[in-house]
């Protein structure tokens, strides 16, 4: 107990200090947590694990970790000091990150945001974190007039590495700054920091396939390294227990069915070690939840790979050009810094109520993309899955509930459409070609209304011949207020993988002329690129992927110079099959493809833009928000479609 009392005594005197910009205000927050009855070790751990943001965040962390077996473990966190770019240079680097990932898939550089490493990872006890943050603030203050601006960078490439290296003489100056921080950390916090001794650089790409070198090299030369930049000294921490674990992001909720299973909540992160997978069966993995600290088995297809730094905690970010530091803390950074989702609460935590001050910290990638690419009209491809289907909601026998012996339709539920189009082959054709529900039509109209509100004009609409896709496209156009103005081109080549069709024959789809007679906005003069006669039952995976790629290319070529925006309404598989090879990526294997398709909900929506002179397309943020309905997760194209 004496050792613990001595540890806490080092924190107590700081409670009386006046809070200054940039300090982690543990003093008053610690007092509040102690007055609530939390033990000091737990209170300190909660404050440090949430970046010292506020008492509420610490309380939420403590309550969620109440069953964490390591809650009282005194093991310290690991810390690292980086220089991070902001402003125009960050703009360029963020764009490079997006393009390289879209064209060549993820490589090791994508695990961490653009940065220059100033020191090795080091450990700091929870009770000393505030003093460590003060040390960084002090040293940055001393260096504001001495920091070299701009930093001269030079591009270097090799067979498996591409980076921007700092000029050798200037690098020595930066290493002196790191040495000063190390000395201040020892003096103020009794923490040993080892300055980085290797060449200082910003890594652009490494550990990538050799056949990607030419593309990555070409992209890297487009980065304008002469642009202005305010380099920020940023201090991050990570849980040392999971330093060598793979980081996964939870996409779907899961309620445990057995005692050894882990409950999952969308947005949480899972730490997974290959060493712990011995007890997991096929399709399951063993991992530990970041939000609860609990471990157990979980279904593999409920999670997706995340970046290493998505779970890191920010403890300080200090500008060398501004007298006031941008922020003192900020919690885990995966969403706010890498996915461009800074909300109002987080802006307040950063002291950035005015959006114009965002340039002081790392600008969100989504904001950068919009600003940089809105100046010139781009060719855009939207791909959307159809709405909620009748046979999934009401079962395969819905037809017997709704049609009498004479084939007359009568709905038996408010979620069933009031009427259905007549079919030349009789109502039994609905067995293989079902309609969407009332909710499905509403979902589609909501998407159209959102596109309308975003001032999006769709020039061409193509859809699969499946009735559910035609109805979805029709209702999207209604929401866009373009029904009757823009005609739907029914393209059989957009039908899903025929291996998934039951029975021995393809569906008997309603002909475009009959659809038009039923008041659907269909182009009856359109001649398909791949007619129905060319589709075969039980086609191979390679055939389906080739067909989807071919028809997408031909659609875009057909619309070139006639309009900038094309909408494809088809199936869950289309979001992957119609966009992956357009980005210059190789198709995934069929097993991984199926896992991606299973994660795409009704009205899952993605957007691609043509990358200028390269002739390659890239996935970008859609102009509309995702649509969450029922128990499905909020669809994130970046997490689902940007796979290696």
323 has pLDDT over 70 = no
| 155 and 251 co-located in one domain | no
Burial class (CB in 10 A: 0-12, 13-18, 19+), 178: buried
How many structural domains comprise the chain? 4
Contacts of 633 (CB under 8 A, 6+ apart): 251, 252, 253, 266, 599, 601
Residue 386 bears catalytic tag: yes
With a pLDDT cut of 90, the percent of the chain lying above it is 53
Give the residue from 384, 236, 207, 422 showing the smallest Cα distance to 318. 236
Asked if the structure places residue 641 within a domain, the reply is no
The average pLDDT across 620-636 equals 77
Two tokens at 376?
A: 């010139």
Give residue 643's pLDDT. Answer: 61
The average pLDDT across 299-315 equals 90
Residue 498 to residue 543: CA distance in whole angstroms: 10
7 has pLDDT over 50 = no
Residue in the structure block whose two tokens are 């995934």:
588
Residue 644 to residue 634: CA distance in whole angstroms: 22
Annotated catalytic residue within 201, 249, 385, 474: 385
Backbone angles phi and psi of 156, in degrees to 5: -135, 135
Task: Report the length, in residues, of the chain.
Answer: 644
Query: Which of 27-36, 137-146, 569-578, 580-589 shows the lowest per-residue confidence on average (mean pLDDT)?
Result: 27-36
Instruction: Look at strands 153-157 and 284-289 and give their pairing.
Output: unpaired
| 188 and 275 co-located in one domain | no
Residue 58, domain CATH: 1.10.8.10
Domain end call among 16, 46, 65? 65
For the chain, give percent helix, strand, coil, nearest 5. 40, 15, 40
Residue 224 to residue 222: CA distance in whole angstroms: 6
Asked if the structure places residue 427 within a domain, the reply is no
Residue 604 to residue 571: CA distance in whole angstroms: 9
Domain end call among 323, 345, 371? 323
200 has pLDDT over 90 = yes
Element (H, E) at 460: strand 460-463
The average pLDDT across 466-493 equals 94
* Cis amide linkage into residue 150, ω under 30° from 0: yes
User: Can you tell me whether residue 1 is helix, strand or coil?
Assistant: coil
Give residue 368's pLDDT. Answer: 30
Asked if the structure places residue 81 within a domain, the reply is yes
| 526 and 448 co-located in one domain | yes
| 151 and 207 co-located in one domain | yes
The pLDDT tens digits of the residues spanning 480-535 come to: 999 888 999 999 999 999 999 988 899 999 999 999 999 999 999 999 999 999 99
Residue in the structure block whose two tokens are 């017997």:
400
| 543 and 598 co-located in one domain | yes
Asked if the structure places residue 318 within a domain, the reply is yes
Give residue 278's pLDDT. Answer: 63
Residue 298, domain CATH: 2.30.30.40
Inter-axis angle of helices 213-221 and 88-104, to 10 degrees? Answer: 160
The pLDDT tens digits of the residues spanning 395-420 come to: 888 998 899 888 899 998 999 999 99
Give residue 365's pLDDT. Answer: 30
Asked if the structure places residue 488 within a domain, the reply is yes
Asked if the structure places residue 576 within a domain, the reply is yes
| 546 and 461 co-located in one domain | yes
Asked if the structure places residue 235 within a domain, the reply is no
Backbone angles phi and psi of 168, in degrees to 5: -60, -45
Query: Which of 15-29, 98-112, 203-217, 243-257 shows the lowest per-residue confidence on average (mean pLDDT)?
Result: 15-29
Give residue 540's pLDDT. Answer: 93
Give residue 5's pLDDT band: very low, low, confident or very high (50, 70, 90).
very low
Domain end call among 228, 260, 292? 228
Give the residue from 342, 364, 358, 299 showing the smallest Cα distance to 595. 299
Residue 351 to residue 615: CA distance in whole angstroms: 42
DSSP conformation letters of 233-276: EEEEEE-GGGTTSEEEEE-S-B--SSTTB--B-TT-EEEE-GGG
DSSP conformation letters of 273-333: -GGGGGG--TTEEEEEETTT--EEEEEGGGEEE--GGGG-EEEEEEESS-SS-SBS--EE-
Residue 409 to residue 401: CA distance in whole angstroms: 9
* Domain enclosing residue 249, as ranges: 244-323
Residue 128, domain CATH: 3.90.1140
| 552 and 450 co-located in one domain | yes
Annotated catalytic residue within 84, 201, 245, 571: 571
Residue 502, number of CB atoms within 10 A of its CB: 8
Give residue 552's pLDDT. Answer: 95
| 222 and 172 co-located in one domain | yes
Residue 95 bears catalytic tag: no
Chain-wide mean pLDDT for the chain?
Answer: 83
Give the residue from 289, 234, 240 showing the smallest Cα distance to 261. 289
Contacts of 397 (CB under 8 A, 6+ apart): none
DSSP conformation letters of 380-437: EEEEEE---BHHHHH-TTHHHHHB-TT--B--SSTTS-S-----TT-GGGGGTS--B-
Annotated catalytic residue within 315, 386, 468, 633: 386
Give residue 43's pLDDT band: very low, low, confident or very high (50, 70, 90).
very high
Looking at per-residue confidence, does 234 or 502 come out higher?
A: 234
| 50 and 172 co-located in one domain | no
| 572 and 520 co-located in one domain | yes
21 has pLDDT over 60 = no
User: Can you tell me whether residue 522 is helix, strand or coil?
Assistant: strand
Residue 529 bears catalytic tag: no
Sign of CA dihedral 159, 162, 168, 173: negative
Residue 557, domain CATH: 3.40.50.1240
CB 456 within 8 A of CB 567: no
Backbone angles phi and psi of 403, in degrees to 5: -120, 135
Q: What is the CA radius of gyration of the chain?
A: 28
Asked if the structure places residue 10 within a domain, the reply is no
3-state helix/strand/coil string of 142-182: HHCCCCCCCCCEEEEECCCEEEEEECHHHHHHHHHHHHHHH
Between the alpha carbon of residue 25 and those of residues 19, 47, 80, 122, 333, the distances in Å are 7, 9, 20, 22, 19
The average pLDDT across 371-393 equals 77
CB 571 within 8 A of CB 386: yes
Residue 382 to residue 637: CA distance in whole angstroms: 12
| 149 and 286 co-located in one domain | no
Two tokens at 232?
A: 């920020």
Query: Which of 380-384, 445-449, 514-518, 584-588 shows the lowest per-residue confidence on average (mean pLDDT)?
Result: 584-588
542 has pLDDT over 80 = yes
Give residue 382's pLDDT. Answer: 97
CB 173 within 8 A of CB 143: no
Residue 239 to residue 312: CA distance in whole angstroms: 8
Contacts of 319 (CB under 8 A, 6+ apart): 86, 140, 230, 232, 325, 326, 360
| 306 and 441 co-located in one domain | no
The pLDDT tens digits of the residues spanning 150-165 come to: 889 999 999 889 999 9
């Amino acid at each position: 107990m004496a050792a613990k009392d001595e540890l806490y005594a080092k924190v107590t005197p700081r409670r009386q200090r006046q809070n200054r910009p940039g300090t982690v205000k543990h003093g008053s927050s610690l007092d509040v947590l102690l007055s609530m009855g939390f033990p000091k070790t737990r209170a300190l751990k909660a404050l440090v694990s949430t970046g010292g943001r506020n008492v509420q965040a610490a309380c939420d962390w403590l309550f969620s970790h109440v069953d964490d077996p390591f809650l009282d473990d005194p093991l310290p966190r690991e810390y690292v000091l980086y220089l991070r770019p902001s402003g125009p240079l960050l703009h360029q680097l963020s764009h490079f990150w997006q393009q390289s990932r879209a064209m060549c898939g993820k490589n090791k550089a994508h695990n961490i945001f653009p940065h220059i490493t100033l020191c090795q990872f080091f450990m700091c006890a929870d009770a000393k974190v505030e003093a460590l943050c003060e040390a960084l603030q002090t040293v940055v203050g001393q260096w504001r007039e001495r920091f070299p601006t701009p930093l001269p960078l030079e591009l270097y490439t090799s067979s498996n590495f591409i980076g921007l290296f700092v000029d050798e003489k200037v690098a020595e100056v930066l290493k002196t700054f790191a040495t000063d921080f190390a000395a201040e950390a020892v003096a103020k916090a009794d923490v040993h920091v080892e300055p980085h001794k290797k060449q200082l650089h910003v890594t652009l790409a490494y550990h990538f396939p050799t056949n990607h070198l030419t593309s990555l090299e070409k992209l890297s030369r487009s980065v304008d390294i002469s642009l202005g930049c305010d380099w920020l000294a940023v201090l991050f921490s990570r849980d040392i227990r999971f330093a060598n674990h793979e980081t996964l992001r939870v996409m779907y909720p899961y309620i445990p069915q057995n005692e050894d299973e882990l409950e999952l909540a969308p947005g949480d992160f899972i730490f997974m070690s290959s060493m712990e997978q011995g007890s997991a069966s096929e399709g399951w993995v063993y991992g530990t939840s970041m939000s609860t600290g609990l471990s157990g088995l979980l279904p593999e297809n409920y999670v997706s790979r995340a970046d290493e730094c998505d779970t890191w905690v920010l403890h300080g970010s200090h500008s060398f050009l501004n007298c006031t530091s941008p922020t003192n803390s900020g919690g885990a950074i995966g969403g706010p810094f890498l996915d461009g989702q800074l909300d109002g609460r987080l802006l307040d935590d950063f002291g950035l109520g005015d959006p114009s001050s965002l340039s002081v910290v790392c600008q969100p990638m989504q904001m950068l993309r919009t600003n940089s690419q809105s100046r010139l009209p781009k060719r855009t491809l939207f791909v959307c899955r159809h709405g909620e289907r009748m046979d999934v909601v009401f079962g395969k026998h819905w037809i017997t509930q709704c049609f009498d012996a004479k084939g007359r339709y009568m709905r038996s539920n408010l979620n069933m459409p009031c009427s259905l189009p007549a079919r030349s082959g009789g109502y039994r054709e609905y067995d293989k070609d079902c309609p969407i529900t009332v909710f499905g039509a509403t979902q589609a109209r909501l998407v159209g209304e959102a596109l309308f509100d975003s001032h999006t004009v769709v020039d061409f609409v193509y859809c699969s011949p499946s009735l559910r896709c035609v109805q979805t496209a029709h209702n999207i156009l209604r929401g866009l207020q373009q029904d009757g103005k823009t005609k739907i081109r029914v393209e059989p080549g957009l039908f899903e993988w025929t291996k998934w069709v039951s029975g021995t024959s393809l569906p008997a789809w309603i002909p475009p002329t009959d659809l038009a007679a039923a008041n659907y906005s269909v182009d009856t003069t359109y001649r398909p690129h791949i007619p129905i006669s060319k589709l075969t039952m039980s086609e191979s995976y390679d055939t389906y992927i080739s067909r989807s790629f071919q028809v997408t290319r031909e659609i875009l070529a057909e619309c070139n110079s006639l309009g900038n925006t094309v909408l494809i309404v088809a199936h869950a598989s289309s979001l992957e099959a119609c966009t992956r090879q357009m980005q210059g990526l190789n198709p995934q294997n069929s097993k991984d493809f199926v896992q991606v398709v299973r994660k795409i909900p009704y009205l899952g929506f993605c957007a691609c833009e043509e990358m200028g002179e390269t002739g390659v397309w890239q996935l970008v943020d859609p102009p509309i928000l995702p649509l969450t309905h029922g128990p499905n997760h909020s669809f994130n194209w970046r997490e689902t479609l940007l796979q290696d």
